[in-house]
Structure 1
Amino acid sequence: MAFRLRHAFRHYSTILSPNSTTPLTAKEKTRSALRLLKSETNPETIVEICRAASLSPESHLDRVALSIAASKLSAGNNFDALRQFLDELLETRSDLRNERFVSRAIVLYGQANMINQALNTFKFMSENLNIVPTVKSLNALLLASIIAKNHKEVTRIYLDFPRIYSIQPNVDTYNLVIKSFAESGSTSSVFSILDEMDRNSVKPNVITINNAISGFYSEKKFEEVEKLMSLMAERYKLYPSLSTYNVRIESLCKLKKSSEAKELFQGMIKGGRKPNSISYFNLIGGFCREGNYDEAKSLFGDMKRRGYRVDAECYFTLAYFLCEGKEFESALEIAKECIGKGWVPNFTTMKKLVNGLVGVSKVDDAKELIKEIKEKFAESSDKWSEIEEGLKPQE
Structure 2
Amino acid sequence: MAAILHRKVPFFPSILLRIRPFSALPESEHLPPPDQIDQTPPTDTKHPLDRLQLSIRSESNPERVAELFLSSKNIHRFYSSRPLFSLTVRKLSRARRPDLIRRVLDPFITDPNSPKSEGFLARILSLYSSAGLPDAAKEAFCHPSPFKRSDLSFSALLSAYMHSGRYGELKSTFEEAASKFNITPGLVPHTILLSGLCENGEIGDARKLLGEMSSRENDRPEPNIISYNTVLCGCLKKGEDGLFDEILKEIEDRNLEPNVVTFNCRIARFCNIGESVKAEELLDVMCSRGIQPSVSTFYNLIHGYCKENKVDLAVKMFQKMKVAKRRSGSDGVSPNADIYIVLVKNLIEKEQFDDASWICIEGMARKILLPFKDVKCIVEGLMKESKLEKAKDLVEKMRKVLKGDASDAWEKIIGGVSLEAITSSQMSGQGQ
| TM bracket, shorter-chain basis | 0.7 to 0.9
| Counterpart residue type for residue 207 of structure 1 | I
Instruction: Tell me if the contact between 1:47 and 1:85 (Cα under 8 Å) persists in the aligned partners.
Output: yes
Which of 204, 209, 213 is equivalent to 2:223?
A: 204
Which of 104, 116, 127 is equivalent to 1:108?
A: 127
Rate the CA distance shift 1:286–1:239 in 2: closer, same or farther, 3 A.
same
Indicate the residue corresponding to 2:348 in structure 1: 323
| Counterpart residue type for residue 119 of structure 2 | R
Shift of 1:325: 4.6
Tell me, which stretches of 5 or more residues in structure 2 are unaligned?
A: 1-43, 326-330, 426-432
* CA–CA distance in structure 1, aligned partners of residues 285 and 371 of structure 2: 41
Shift of 1:26: 4.3
Instruction: Tell me if the contact between 1:277 and 1:310 (Cα under 8 Å) persists in the aligned partners.
Output: yes
Instruction: Tell me if the contact between 2:267 and 2:282 (Cα under 8 Å) persists in the aligned partners.
Output: no
Which of 99, 102, 121 is equivalent to 1:80?
A: 99
- Structure-to-structure mapping, 1:91-130, within 5 angstroms: 91-92=110-111, 94-124=113-143, 127=144, 129-130=145-146
Instruction: Tell me if the contact between 2:270 and 2:278 (Cα under 8 Å) persists in the aligned partners.
Output: no
Instruction: Tell me if the contact between 1:277 and 1:303 (Cα under 8 Å) persists in the aligned partners.
Output: no
Indicate the residue corresponding to 2:151 in structure 1: 135
* CA–CA distance in structure 1, aligned partners of residues 270 and 136 of structure 2: 38
Shift of 1:366: 0.5
* CA–CA distance in structure 2, aligned partners of residues 30 and 189 of structure 1: 47
Indicate the residue corresponding to 2:382 in structure 1: 357
Indicate the residue corresponding to 2:90 in structure 1: 68
Shift of 1:61: 1.5
| Counterpart residue type for residue 193 of structure 1 | L
Shift of 1:252: 4.8
Shift of 1:218: 0.8
Instruction: Tell me if the contact between 1:331 and 1:353 (Cα under 8 Å) persists in the aligned partners.
Output: yes
Indicate the residue corresponding to 1:160 in structure 2: 176
Shift of 1:246: 1.6
For residues 249-305 of structure 1, give each alpha carbon's deviation from its aligned partner in whole angstroms, at most 9, with x where no partner exists. 23554xx3242x541441463584356253333211332355431221232344456
Which of 161, 167, 170 is equivalent to 1:145?
A: 161
Instruction: Tell me if the contact between 2:207 and 2:231 (Cα under 8 Å) persists in the aligned partners.
Output: no
Instruction: Tell me if the contact between 1:322 and 1:328 (Cα under 8 Å) persists in the aligned partners.
Output: yes
Indicate the residue corresponding to 1:311 in structure 2: 334
Rate the CA distance shift 1:100–1:346 in 2: closer, same or farther, 3 A.
same
| Counterpart residue type for residue 81 of structure 1 | L
Rate the CA distance shift 1:262–1:188 in 2: closer, same or farther, 3 A.
farther
Indicate the residue corresponding to 2:41 in structure 1: none
For residues 368-390 of structure 1, give each alpha carbon's deviation from its aligned partner in whole angstroms, at most 9, with x where no partner exists. 32234556x37587856973234
In the alignment, structure 1 residue 288 sits paired with structure 2 residue 306: yes
Shift of 1:149: 1.3
Instruction: Tell me if the contact between 2:324 and 2:333 (Cα under 8 Å) persists in the aligned partners.
Output: no
| Counterpart residue type for residue 393 of structure 2 | E
In the alignment, structure 1 residue 334 sits paired with structure 2 residue 365: no
| Counterpart residue type for residue 158 of structure 2 | L
| Counterpart residue type for residue 343 of structure 2 | L
* CA–CA distance in structure 2, aligned partners of residues 368 and 297 of structure 1: 22
Indicate the residue corresponding to 2:54 in structure 1: 32
Helix, strand or coil at the partner of 1:189? helix
Instruction: Tell me if the contact between 1:135 and 1:169 (Cα under 8 Å) persists in the aligned partners.
Output: yes
Indicate the residue corresponding to 1:246 in structure 2: 264
Of residues 261-270 and 152-161 in structure 1, the stretch that sits farther from structure 2 once superposed is 261-270
In the alignment, structure 1 residue 276 sits paired with structure 2 residue 301: no
Indicate the residue corresponding to 2:204 in structure 1: 188
* CA–CA distance in structure 2, aligned partners of residues 44 and 338 of structure 1: 35
For residues 216-252 of structure 1, give each alpha carbon's deviation from its aligned partner in whole angstroms, at most 9, with x where no partner exists. 0111111111111222232x32032233102332355
After TM superposition, the score normalised by the length of structure 2 is 0.72
In the alignment, structure 1 residue 263 sits paired with structure 2 residue 281: no
Q: Percent identity?
A: 22
Indicate the residue corresponding to 2:195 in structure 1: 179
Number of equivalenced pairs: 357
Helix, strand or coil at the partner of 1:286? helix
